[in-house]
Structure 1
Amino acid sequence: MACSQIMLRVAILRLLLLMISSSSSNVPDQDSISSSMPSLLYPRKNVSFTARLIHRTSPESPFYDPNAKRYDLIGDGIRTSLARAHFFGKRTSALAESLIDARSPVRVIGIDFVMSYSIGTPPVKTFGIADTASHVIWLQCQPCDHCYKQSIPFYNCDESSAYKSLPCGDTICYSSPWGSTCRYHSDYMEKSSSNGYLSTETITLGDNGGETILEDMIFGCGTENTDRDTKPKPPGVLGLGNRTSSLIGQLAYPRFSYYIFTNSTGTHGWIHFGLSATTSGPGTPLLPNDFGNYRLSLVGLMVSGEDIDYDFSSYNQAPEYDGGFVIDTGTLYTVLDEPIFNALRKKIAYEVYDEEPQAYNEILLQECSRLSRSRVSVC
């Protein structure tokens, strides 16, 4: 059955539907799939490949704005970082909370890091936000009941010979009250969302001299998507979360690593998947949690070789949603809980000025010190 026929049938039935950090992107309030997915029963993909990680300020990005001001980009990054920290359950300061409220609606569906890939047979080139806080691959699909603006052509599932919708009787899907197909639903902050059909499709990823074809990849074909921001957006998300439904979870070797470029080193970074994601040196275990986030224990912070005055012993014993330190591709700036931030700021102030820090400036970046004499950089 063609995907447009399935969509029409469901529409009739439903009538009314709906770091240490590294980088800014979507802030999911909830990712849900009409699927149990304790483990994917589809064959996992035993592959190894590398792709470009493109920043929105890079001329390689389809969303590059040559007129964007550096101050505006910094402000967007800060507001998005605070919003994501708020989402992750971090106890941000009262100032951070007031900034979020004052700037409403916060533009939390950012486009800082995107990946280029192709979908379908024949392949259609598209882009997706690389997001470790999302657990689903999804993109806007035609025929579309409601889609937001995007600057590149839409993917049409009717035109792909490899597209297959998953029936609600599939082994990875709960029975669905909306008809015969398995559905997904992703909520984001500020009333943004994506809804559609859980399906399989051929996805082509790769760069650096080669491409990798991934067949029968589970993804969300988004036919009802909302975003309060009227600017064109990336067509969807490449979920990199720690769940079996994400891009990472569908690989036989569920591992990835990435390199973020600086302005002086190039226009893009690299993200490595599977066996290509080699690392060296000692590692640190991830904290278990129910939300598929990448969390680490935070055991201390040092300034000039001295620990800050804060007891971290109970910090990592907080409830699972609030303990530890989240590594997140969508958070451009490191965000600390207020007591830790104040202890760090106080230590830096004594190190640099030999005195207590002054009152907060009424500016998004509360303090940014670049002092070559002491080699201290806090932003």
Structure 2
Amino acid sequence: MSPLNLVIYFSILLHSSYAQLITEEKGLSLELIHVDSKRSPFYDANLTDFQRIVRSIDSSKSRILWLESMMIFRANPTIIRPPLRAIAPAIFMVAIGIGSGHGLRNYYLHIDTGSSLTWTQCLPCSTCFPQSAPMFDPRLSPTYRVVGCDDPVCKPPHYKCVNNRCEYHIEYYDDTSIDGVLSRETFTFQDAHSSHSEDVRNLVFGCTHSSHMNYRGNPAGIFGMSQNPTSTVKQLAALTHGLFSYCLFPPSATRASFLRFGHDIKPPRGGFLSTKILEYNDPEGFYYLDVEDLSVNGRRMHFARRTFARRSDGTGGFIIDSGTAVTQLTVHALDGVEHVMKDYFRLRLNLLPVNDSSLRLRLCYKMVQGIQHRLPTMTLHFRNGANYDLRRSALFMNYAEKRSFCLAMMRARE
């Protein structure tokens, strides 16, 4: 699911603490940088806004195919994964320091709630994608350690023992993969609201020595945030009380986006409802939400409960994903939403859909004056009675150069 300008609070239970913390339990805030923001060190001023939107949608399509293939492969491990395009980078980056002494290097990593491991490219690297920062050299850092085969984190299916060390081979797409050594190192997190930095020793991460991918955007790797025990947010639980939150804003926003941990999380004032993150014993550790139904412009859709439920074979379900810019719904659900949307635009605004394949999305209209304040709304209804009203800016893509807008949703496999 897309970043919906939504504040999400995650409570994570850590079965065992892998990281060693220098300070007492406290809070921490890290600034998140959108890949298309002018705040990004990799901002490409030559791209038009239309090109950025199209690139974002194409990346989301690739990522959705990967998410689907992971679920299908889990349900049918004997099938061959479908051929997919090169890895689609995530949307937001975070700056992290890795190593100590002369080996300390600062890197921008893509945050990914669908990845179980934080990794960066390391020397020596046989086949690596180009990056702007020097590759991490473990020989220069006195705190670097290789994870041995007897370490409790060295477990299949992600990791295996080779020559007394724990190695990994992670496939993101067909013929798109990374290989490396599971390692431990000191990470430095710079607090966004002060000059204070937090050093975390003995953090498990991946030292990638071979990468077969076309990784656009120049960040040096992935900041893993899944529910898997080796993800960085899981390992930080002793520091953060097992809590993290993020509030995401579009690249044009003047306000910064933040990833907050522990005591830095400030609950909204007044009464608010929460919904539970569903946990399953899956290697991927995706974040599933218990969505019961949708409403469009106040009209309840009355979808069957199974529409958004996870099936017994591990397919289906409703997940929130930091690397997808558009929402994905099943064919039945999206057809129902589009039917109500079309009726609204035709009967109330006298608008008919336009057919323009360059926009990349299914339901699009020409922009008319004042339309921004007359667009329909959508509400997510969770099983525990909590509701979330989506902002119109999260529900529709605005193509200013084309004077068009589209419903920011795509079809998923059934």
Q: 1:284 maps to what in 2? A: 275
Cα separation, 2, equivalents of 1:223 and 1:267: 37
Q: 1:329 maps to what in 2? A: 322
Q: 1:142 maps to what in 2? A: 123
Cα separation, 2, equivalents of 1:316 and 1:60: 39
Q: What is the deviation of 1:373? A: 6.2
Q: What is the deviation of 1:243? A: 1.3
Q: What is the deviation of 1:258? A: 0.9
1:374 aligns with 2:374: yes
Q: What is the deviation of 1:176? A: 5.0
Q: CA 1:156–1:295 in 2, change beyond 3 Å: closer, same or farther?
A: same
Uncovered stretches (5+) of structure 2, i.e. residues with no partner: 6-13, 70-82, 377-391, 397-406, 408-414
CA contact (8 A) 2:355 2:364 kept: no
1:193 aligns with 2:183: no
The 5 Å alignment of 1:1-379 reads 19=1, 21-22=3-4, 39-40=15-16, 42-43=18-19, 45=21, 46-89=25-68, 106-122=85-101, 123-173=104-154, 176-206=160-190, 207-209=192-194, 210-228=196-214, 233-251=218-236, 252=238, 253-266=241-254, 268-280=256-268, 281-289=272-280, 290=282, 291-308=284-301, 310-319=303-312, 321-354=314-347, 361-363=356-358, 364-369=360-365, 371-372=371-372, 374-376=374-376, 377=392, 378=396, 379=407
Identity within the alignment, %? 25
CA contact (8 A) 2:27 2:263 kept: yes
CA contact (8 A) 2:3 2:248 kept: no
Cα separation, 2, equivalents of 1:312 and 1:356: 32
Q: CA 1:286–1:242 in 2, change beyond 3 Å: closer, same or farther?
A: same
Q: CA 1:296–1:105 in 2, change beyond 3 Å: closer, same or farther?
A: closer
The secondary structure found in structure 2 opposite 1:265 is coil
Q: What is the deviation of 1:135? A: 0.6
The amino acid that maps onto 2:36 is T
The secondary structure found in structure 2 opposite 1:301 is strand
The secondary structure found in structure 2 opposite 1:342 is helix
The secondary structure found in structure 1 opposite 2:185 is strand
Q: CA 1:111–1:151 in 2, change beyond 3 Å: closer, same or farther?
A: farther
Uncovered stretches (5+) of structure 1, i.e. residues with no partner: 1-18, 24-37, 91-103
Deviation digits for residues 115-164 of structure 1 (CA, Å, limit 9, x no counterpart): 11111112211111100000101100112222211112111111111111
Q: Which moved more, 1:106-115 or 1:359-368?
A: 359-368
CA contact (8 A) 1:148 1:232 kept: no
Q: What is the deviation of 1:86? A: 2.6
More strand by share: 2
Cα separation, 1, equivalents of 2:267 and 2:62: 31
Cα separation, 1, equivalents of 2:298 and 2:201: 50
The secondary structure found in structure 1 opposite 2:276 is coil
Q: What is the deviation of 1:311? A: 2.7
The secondary structure found in structure 1 opposite 2:278 is coil
RMSD: 2.8
Q: What is the deviation of 1:65? A: 0.8
Deviation digits for residues 216-273 of structure 1 (CA, Å, limit 9, x no counterpart): 11111111112135x5632111100011100111022222111112345327411102
Cα separation, 2, equivalents of 1:144 and 1:184: 15
CA contact (8 A) 1:22 1:329 kept: no
How many pairs are equivalent?
333
Cα separation, 2, equivalents of 1:294 and 1:44: 26
Q: What is the deviation of 1:88? A: 2.7
TM-score, structure 2 as length reference:
0.73
CA contact (8 A) 1:309 1:343 kept: no
CA contact (8 A) 1:182 1:198 kept: yes
CA contact (8 A) 1:55 1:268 kept: no
The amino acid that maps onto 2:245 is S
